């Protein structure tokens, strides 16, 4: 991983992922019920950029809100750059990437686990099920779309848990007053009550379920890198189909390649970047890890005229 830290594209990706994750958290905060809430800003930004939401709305209701037409921009970018949206923009992808970065293991195990698996086709069956379900009036995207899943998890489980934990902590300081710290904690608590904490502790019937599901999805990153993105994400599957023959391609110089498989060990999507013949653009997240990890600089990512297949 040390090589990745010196790669400019990887650094830029980390910065971009962080920025969009912070934007998501800010927009989520704008929808929370607290005294300073003004529900300002483009709170539906990520949903409007989501072509899966646009398709399910169109299939189910035969109409598309004008704001959802922004998702056409996502599709246009995907045609040229592949699943760049998954690797650089998606806030849920950023969280999965973070948990993936905490994985450890022997090199041979990492290579085996990072290689492509036929089970990655599961997400394509899921996106078909979501679209067919929309035709029959079943809102499966509300459960399986990454932005819907992330927002519901935060709204029903994560934020209520944080809210309860913070309030419980400050209640303890107020009641116990260790070392006379109440004089310090109370002004802090009043500020949090005004700007961050909700007016009343929210409780949701589905909160525990979404909390368990959300925690499980994040924990699965310790088994396979970006497990959700590889195996389950219907939006990733849709973008993989659209971007299966992009202009931006991974190129391997066979003369320089020593077949060390470091690129495979660092691949987040199971895209098999060890040769031009094996590389799978529909699975590639354009994380640039393969280029950064290659000790002989045999890998480059550049524009090529798409092949007719």
Looking at residue 195, its pLDDT comes to 73
Burial 271-297 (b: 16+ CB within 10 A, else e): bbbbeeeebbbbbbbbbbbbbbbbeee
Helix (H) or strand (E) holding 301: strand 299-303
Categorize the per-residue pLDDT at 147 as very low, low, confident or very high, splitting at 50, 70 and 90.
Answer: very high
Looking at residue 34, its pLDDT comes to 53
Mean pLDDT, all residues of the chain: 88
**CA separation for the pair 36, 33 (Å, rounded):** 8
Q: From start to end of 174-292, where are the E strands?
A: 248-252
More confident residue, 289 or 31: 289
Is residue 189 within 8 Å of 170, Cβ to Cβ? yes
**CA separation for the pair 140, 130 (Å, rounded):** 5
pLDDT value at 12 more than 60: yes
C-alpha 159 chain-centroid distance: 18
Looking at residue 177, its pLDDT comes to 87
pLDDT value at 24 more than 90: yes
Looking at residue 40, its pLDDT comes to 53
Looking at residue 306, its pLDDT comes to 59
Burial of 178 per CB tally in 10 Å (0-12, 13-18, 19+): exposed
pLDDT value at 41 more than 50: yes
Looking at residue 1, its pLDDT comes to 39
Categorize the per-residue pLDDT at 201 as very low, low, confident or very high, splitting at 50, 70 and 90.
Answer: low
**CA dist 262 → 38, 134, 234, 289 (Å):** 49, 42, 29, 9
pLDDT value at 33 more than 90: no
**CA dist 31 → 48, 84, 103, 203, 236 (Å):** 16, 28, 33, 16, 26
Looking at residue 228, its pLDDT comes to 97
Is residue 170 within 8 Å of 201, Cβ to Cβ? no
Q: If you average pLDDT over residues 93-110, what whole number do you get?
A: 90
Categorize the per-residue pLDDT at 304 as very low, low, confident or very high, splitting at 50, 70 and 90.
Answer: confident
Q: Is 226 left (phi over 0), alpha (psi -120 to 50) or beta?
A: left
**CA separation for the pair 95, 181 (Å, rounded):** 35
Give the HSE-up count for residue 128: Cα atoms under 13 Å, Cβ half-sphere.
6
Looking at residue 139, its pLDDT comes to 87
Output the six-digit token pair for 257: 């390649």
């Amino acid at each position: 991983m040390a090589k990745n830290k010196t790669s400019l594209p990887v650094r830029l990706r980390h910065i971009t992922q962080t920025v969009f994750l912070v934007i998501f958290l800010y927009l989520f905060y704008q929808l929370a019920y607290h005294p300073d809430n003004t529900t300002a800003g483009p709170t539906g930004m990520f949903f409007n950029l989501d072509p899966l939401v646009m398709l399910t709305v169109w299939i189910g209701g035969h109409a598309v809100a004008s704001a959802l037409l922004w998702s056409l921009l996502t599709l246009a970018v995907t045609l040229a750059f592949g699943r760049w949206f998954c690797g650089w923009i998606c806030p849920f992808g950023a969280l999965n990437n973070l948990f993936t970065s905490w994985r450890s293991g022997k090199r041979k195990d990492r290579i085996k686990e990072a290689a492509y698996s036929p089970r990655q086709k599961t997400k394509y069956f899921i996106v078909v099920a979501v679209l067919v379900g929309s035709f029959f009036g079943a809102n499966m995207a509300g459960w399986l779309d990454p932005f819907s899943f992330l927002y519901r998890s935060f709204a029903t489980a994560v934020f209520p848990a944080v809210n309860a934990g913070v309030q419980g902590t400050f209640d303890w300081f107020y009641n116990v007053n260790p070392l006379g710290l109440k004089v310090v904690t109370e002004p802090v608590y009043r500020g949090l009550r005004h700007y961050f904490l909700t007016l009343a502790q929210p409780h949701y019937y589905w909160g525990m379920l979404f909390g368990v599901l959300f925690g499980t999805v994040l924990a699965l990153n310790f088994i396979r890198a970006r497990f959700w993105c590889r195996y389950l994400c219907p939006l990733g599957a849709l973008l993989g189909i659209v971007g299966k023959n992009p202009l931006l391609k991974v190129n391997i110089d066979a003369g320089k390649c020593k077949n060390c498989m470091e690129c495979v060990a660092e691949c987040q999507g199971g895209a098999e970047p060890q040769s031009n013949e094996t590389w799978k653009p529909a699975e590639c997240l354009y994380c640039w890890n393969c280029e950064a990890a290659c000790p002989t600089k045999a890998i480059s990512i550049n524009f090529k005229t798409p092949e007719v297949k």
